[in-house]
Structure 1
Amino acid sequence: MDSSSGPDHSEFSPDPHQTVAPVPSGSSGPSTLAFNESQLPTHHVSGKVGDGVPRAQPYATSLPTASGPPLPVHGGGDPVTNLEQNAKYALWNLRRYRRYFNVDTEDVLVRMKDSLVGSFKPDFLDKITDNEDLYGPFWVVMTLIFVTAVVGNYSSYENYKRKHTSITGQAAGTWYYDVNKVLYSAILFFGYVWILGAILFVALKFVFKSEISLPQVWCTYGYAMTVFIPASFFCFFPNVISRWVLCAVATATSGIFLLLNFRAPIFDSAGAKAVPIWLAMGACHLGLGLILRLYFFKYQAVKIEI
């Protein structure tokens, strides 16, 4: 068969950025199928719906596509539009609150890390503006409730062993697990984060006309409890000095985080009355640390009688 009878492709030079698919034999004309290579990202696939939350590190706000305008990725979108879309639902409709749970593991971990270093860079409220979440704070508090209850009972058990251990090294009597510590820790942490946070919001919003929102207050208070989780684990060690040091460091770290991040909203709105509010916040947080140390992480070095 004469090769000159077929179609001439000598002058066709495909784009090096395109993938050319061969045309099946028997088709008429010099037809080729060209596919543009996708420029869409294949990472950060988390299953979230809508816009992400801001990260501590800078990241790209858009990525180019083969044609058309850039597609927004993490942090894109219009926060005002998102707020308006959620506000159209009734207060009892769960869709109104779904934006507060639209986070993934990376978002929560970044915000937990920000709460630990927030004493040195108090910009947490700036990062969560229009992107505050309640999912992370809820699970931080729930984790802290059970960890505190377990460590508190362990401390009670250590005290019991030292008080009732005889010269033979055998413990006398029976020790009972105090299940009420779970209830008391739930009252303590939920009351501190949600109730005290709501009281602070009411004072700032309706008395001093601040622009801060209730979810922002809850989000900040909830993540501020992060440092108490590792501190509680280390309080397993039955040593009076170490427990005092751990509770003091955790209370100071989270307290400074709260005071520095709420400093601008309080002083900008409350004016001359800002100092008493600010000091009251610090006093409440100091009380939280003392309750943890003196009740849940109580340790007594008891002298063993022979």
Structure 2
Amino acid sequence: MAAADELAFHEFEEASNLLAETPDAATTSGSDQLTPQGHVAVAVDSGGSYGAEEEAEESDRTALLQEEKQQPGFWTFGYYQSFFDVDTSQVLDRIRGSLLPRPGHNFVRHHLRNQPDLYGPFWICATLAFVLAVTGNLTLVLAQRRDPSIHYSPQFHKVTVAGITIYCYVWLVPLALWGFLRWRKGVRERVGPYTFLETVCVYGYSLFVFIPTVVLWLIPVPWLQWLLGVLALSLSGASLVFTLWPVVREDTSLVAAVLLSTVVLLHALLAVGCKFYFFQPLPLEHLAPPLQATSLPPDVLLPLTPGAKTT
């Protein structure tokens, strides 16, 4: 205890002597000593903040990696939920892109941007099937008003026929096209197909133009109906051709021509088939049966007409 007291008193005495001899220097040295200590403290604090930021970035990376590892499987509902995660502006932009096709404008690259959705194609197909069935029944109602001999009865089976036809077309044709392009990629390495969902999305949005066309087919003017059908088929087919051309142009000219011609032909068959099935003004079952000659019994006498001779 005595040694500690002597040591403390010695330090105090040495400091007092220094302050007494040179007060200015002592004041300056004290400030100089405090200033570096302050800088050291700031440096330590700044280093601690940098370390905290790095730790935060590392924690963010770890969270992202954990999210990527925890992606749901394709058999779960969460896996398909991402394909319906679109807003109204995105859907409207993709509809406009399908209605206004132009050369050099790729629907997949400019509108889908590697984020295909099933929300738009699903509701476009459902709306088209419903509108086809309703307008097909309304066509018979209008035909009955013009010709009372036509008997109208609601045909609810047209909803089922329209739904099965359209959904099978939007899923099976893109599946066959995607499989063919995958096979051609193995033959020619420069041929790169779109993904299956991107192909389905292109076909789904390409059918939107037929919704207003089907409504306008209620106008009972045959040449106008065919004109509207050809216009809708041209816009929809052009959207498909301009989208598929960047994929097939690296293939041989024969394969590209046959593939694009098949795509347009199947599209035309869908449009023409819907026109003839849902919009026939007079169904075959309502046609009047032809008159048939009937034989009369021998004991039935026909009335004589004036001027007729009897034997």
**Smaller-chain TM-score range?**
0.5 to 0.7
Instruction: Determine the C-alpha separation between the residues in 1 that align with 2:144 and 2:252.
Output: 50
* Superposed displacement of residue 88, structure 1: 4.0
Of 176, 188, 201, the residue aligned with 1:219 is: 201
Instruction: Determine the C-alpha separation between the residues in 2 that align with 1:102 and 1:108.
Output: 11
Segments of 5+ residues of structure 1 without an aligned counterpart are 1-67, 69-80, 166-171, 301-306
* Superposed displacement of residue 179, structure 1: 1.0
> In the alignment, what sits opposite 2:213?
231
* Superposed displacement of residue 120, structure 1: 5.3
**Aligned residue identity for 1:246:** L
Of 230, 254, 278, the residue aligned with 1:296 is: 278
Task: Give the share of equivalent positions with the same residue, in percent.
Answer: 27
Q: Deviations over 1:88-113 (max 9, x none)?
A: 43220222233211101111111111
Instruction: Determine the C-alpha separation between the residues in 2 that align with 1:270 and 1:188.
Output: 32
* Superposed displacement of residue 189, structure 1: 0.9
Instruction: Determine the C-alpha separation between the residues in 2 that align with 1:141 and 1:266.
Output: 27
* Superposed displacement of residue 227, structure 1: 0.3
How many aligned positions are there?
A: 217
- Preserved contact between residue 123 and residue 261 of structure 1 (Cα < 8 Å): yes
Segments of 5+ residues of structure 2 without an aligned counterpart are 1-52, 54-63, 187-191, 283-311
The change in CA–CA distance for 1:250 and 1:204 in structure 2 (over 3 A counts) is: same
Instruction: Determine the C-alpha separation between the residues in 2 that align with 1:234 and 1:268.
Output: 40
What pairs up with 1:1-306 in 2 under 5 angstroms?
A: 85=68, 88-119=71-102, 122-127=105-110, 128-163=112-147, 165=148, 172=149, 174-209=151-186, 210-269=192-251, 272-299=254-281
Q: Deviations over 1:150-208 (max 9, x none)?
A: 11111122233333x2xxxxxx5741011111111112211111111111111112343
- Preserved contact between residue 153 and residue 177 of structure 1 (Cα < 8 Å): yes
> In the alignment, what sits opposite 2:308?
none
| Runs of 4+ with deviation above 4 angstroms | 269-272
The change in CA–CA distance for 1:204 and 1:85 in structure 2 (over 3 A counts) is: farther
Q: What SS is found at the alignment partner of 1:208?
A: helix
Q: What SS is found at the alignment partner of 2:247?
A: helix
Given the two structures, how large is their TM-score scaled by the length of structure 1?
0.64
* Superposed displacement of residue 270, structure 1: 6.2
Q: What SS is found at the alignment partner of 1:277?
A: helix
> In the alignment, what sits opposite 2:45?
none
Q: Select the structure that is richer in helix.
A: 2
- Preserved contact between residue 204 and residue 269 of structure 1 (Cα < 8 Å): no
